[in-house]
Chain A
Amino acid sequence: MEAPVPKQPLRIALLGNPNCGKTALFNLLTGSRQKVANYAGVTVERKEGVFRTTAGRQVSVLDLPGAYSLNALSGDEAVTRDVITGHSQEVLPDLLVCVVDATNLRLHLRLVLEARRLGLPLVVALNKMDRARQLGIHIDTSRLARELNLYVTETVSVHTHGADTLRELLDKNLPSTGPSTWRESGIEQVIATQHDVLRIFQSVVTEPAIDKDPSDRMDRFLMHPVWGFAVLAVVLFLTFMAVFSGGAVLSDIIEEGFGAVAALVEAHMDEGLLRGLLVEGIIGGVGGVIVFLPQILILFLFILALESSGYLPRAAFLLDRPMSAAGLSGRSFIPLLSSFACAIPGIMATRTISHWRDRLTTILIAPLMACSARIPVYTLLVAALFPDDAVSAALVMVGLYILGIVAAMTVAWVIKSTDKDHARSPLMMELPAYQWPDVRSLVIGLWERAMIFLRRVGTIILAITIVMWALYTIPSPRRTADGAPVERSLAGELGHALHHVFAPIGFNEQISFALVPGMAAREVVVSALGTAYAMQGDEGEVDEQLRERITNEWPLATKLSLLLWMVFAPQCLSTFAVVKRETGSWKQMWIMGGYLFALAYLASFITYQLTTVLTAS
């Protein structure tokens, strides 16, 4: 069987059920040498990486989306089926590695039997072997290999050397399993296959009685109608506490760093246009956005850890009933939770929702979750509303979050009520066994999120900051009247024009202008306001001056109106772009933008007019 090491790289694909530890194994094999993109024409994540076998042969590995079966029910499963049956633009892999969870062979073995019919060379990676031993599950690996007539290797994806056996195995010349006999199976065939699975399972696995499973006791507690919700409330409270307090500490450090860089530039450059662009435009603008990175990453750390531990699916179970009152299912919970960090990953996470209407509804309401980019504007305005009352400020802050959630549920309910074809939405969701999160996968997951964010800062946000700075700096040809340079700039002109639209909801020219860059990226609203008021100094100082002016100069009605605007308004071009990409429809994108704009304008209008009347009397 042993062959000399071939020169060309081997192309393999990892196939497996969701929760089989496939991605952890992929991360272990490839480390940081991986590329994340999309499959051609669909919005399913395509992860590819490279590694070497023990003998040094290069391997390129594709981490296929998790699939229970090749009878695809979701978009993810359809991609997996198409790639390995040769119905996609992907090159057919030289070899399939079917990853199965050793602690749950009964469920995962079926996919091996189905994949065997594909005719591709196939090996089985018996993953989570450490966990299986802990649970007292004994698997006769050589017997399993004989029964399947396939190579079977044991892997532990959470140990540094846990994939060495697989690297070694890939140096062998692996035979194909004959011509493809795979076709979508009917009910009779599925039952026949399950009989085979059961026979093989019983002949190779010895395990303790399942009545003693510790997972069940945890489940009874964590999904308890009372205790379960209490635990969930505590978990969410701690998560958001960490985001706010931990995030604030780290943000201050970043802020000081950018302040120091700005001071350095100011000390070493002569005053002039270029220095203005660098200090106020680029360093101020980009710095003002990067300060959210800690908050986003802390929230994602909690989400990734809770998800891989198996807790989040239980939370989704608990919330299924309350959410179905609004026409959603528990499956929408994780995407909506992610949207508190940023709507973009939240909208991307809706891919796991197989039911189209549920998915679309979740996409449309995701922007109503108070994303981290809204925190600075909320903070500024709330502080200006309650300068000496931290408790009221905190309560209003919480209120703004709740308002977003209530609005989202109401919109979801309206969508449900207008949908005539009210089919029962499916749930059918695995609640995987509890486990400790794999640190390597957490780090890689956070790294990916950070890179997505930083790429955005380096492109869209950098561009906006420069354009914004230019608009404020270039004098308008028409307005030659006296006044601050800002008022005479192109920006001043624009603010003046927009003011007509926004005057009924109480926005002055400065706010009207700040909303323009805010459309592109909400994060820059505060620094845009600072620029509009021609404020000088580093970020902390600008914040201070702004708070003072807002407290003293804006009427109460304007403050409240802008707060509500920030809760509802469609903002951030990237969200529009991702809605277009995920729904594949311009129409849905405009529906989202349109309804959010209408909601924001209406809410702000009512608030402004009502407050004006009330405060006047």
Chain B
Amino acid sequence: MEQENMGAIGLDRLPEDQWATVSDVTVPTDATDRGLVLRLLELGFVPGERVRVVREGRTVREPLAVRVGHTTFALRRHEAAFIRVIPAE
């Protein structure tokens, strides 16, 4: 899972309204964060899925409304940062 992906960025850095594809997910060592990442995977943030930031809060870009499949989730930037994505051309 930790392999290098050329051009991958954290989902928290994806510009608003741009599609991207999940490349991998950072697996943290902290137990709480692991639970969080597990849940993100269960919610559908798995490699290969297409995602898009539908809306983000102004000024500090917090929180993010992220669309994955048919669902939209409100995420914090630090939550989104665990998901690595490759922006579409």
Contacts and interface: CB of A to CB of B under 8 A. Distances in A.
Contacts of B42: 68-69, 71, 110, 190, 194
A426 B70 contact: no
B61 to A, nearest CB: 10
Nearest to B69: A106
A107 B69 contact: yes
A317 B72 CA distance: 11
Contacts of B39: 68-69, 71, 73, 428
Interface residues of B, number: 39
Interface in A202-220: 210, 213, 215-216, 219-220
A187 B54 contact: no
A330 B34 CA distance: 23
A168 B50 CA distance: 39
Interface string B38-53: 1111111011101000
B27 A224 contact: no
Contacts of A185: 38
A110 B46 CA distance: 12
Contacts of B75: 427-428
B69 A210 contact: yes
Contacts, number: 124
A217 to B, nearest CB: 10
Given A106-B70, A317-B63, A191 B57 contact: no
Contacts of B67: 210, 213, 216
A97 interface: no
A450 interface: no
Contact of B76 (A186, A210, A427): A427
A216 B38 contact: no
Most chain-A CB neighbours within 10 Å: which of B32, B46, B74? B74
Contact of B70 (A104, A198, A313, A321): A104
Interface string A118-134: 00000000000000000
Given A107-B69, A426-B79, A330 B74 contact: yes
Contacts of A195: 46
Contact of A216 (B35, B54, B63, B76): B54
Central interface residue in B65, B72, B73, by most chain A CB within 10 Å = B72
A198 B68 CA distance: 13
A216 B53 CA distance: 10
A187 B73 contact: no
Interface residues of A, number: 43
A429 interface: yes
Nearest to B37: A187
B1 to A, nearest CB: 8
A194 B41 contact: yes
B74 A320 contact: yes
A7 interface: no
24 contacts: A71-B39, A71-B42, A106-B69, A110-B44, A210-B50, A210-B67, A216-B54, A317-B65, A320-B63, A321-B57, A321-B58, A321-B62, A324-B62, A330-B74, A423-B32, A424-B76, A424-B78, A427-B63, A427-B74, A428-B39, A428-B74, A430-B71, A430-B72, A430-B74
Interface of B: 1, 17, 27, 32, 34-44, 46-48, 50, 54-55, 57-60, 62-63, 65, 67, 69-76, 78-79
Given A198-B46, A428-B76, A431-B65, 11 more contacts: A107-B71, A187-B27, A194-B46, A210-B70, A220-B54, A316-B74, A317-B74, A423-B32, A424-B78, A428-B36, A430-B74
Top 10 closest pairs, chain A to chain B, by CB: A223-B55, A225-B58, A431-B72, A106-B69, A104-B70, A321-B57, A429-B74, A194-B46, A427-B76, A190-B41
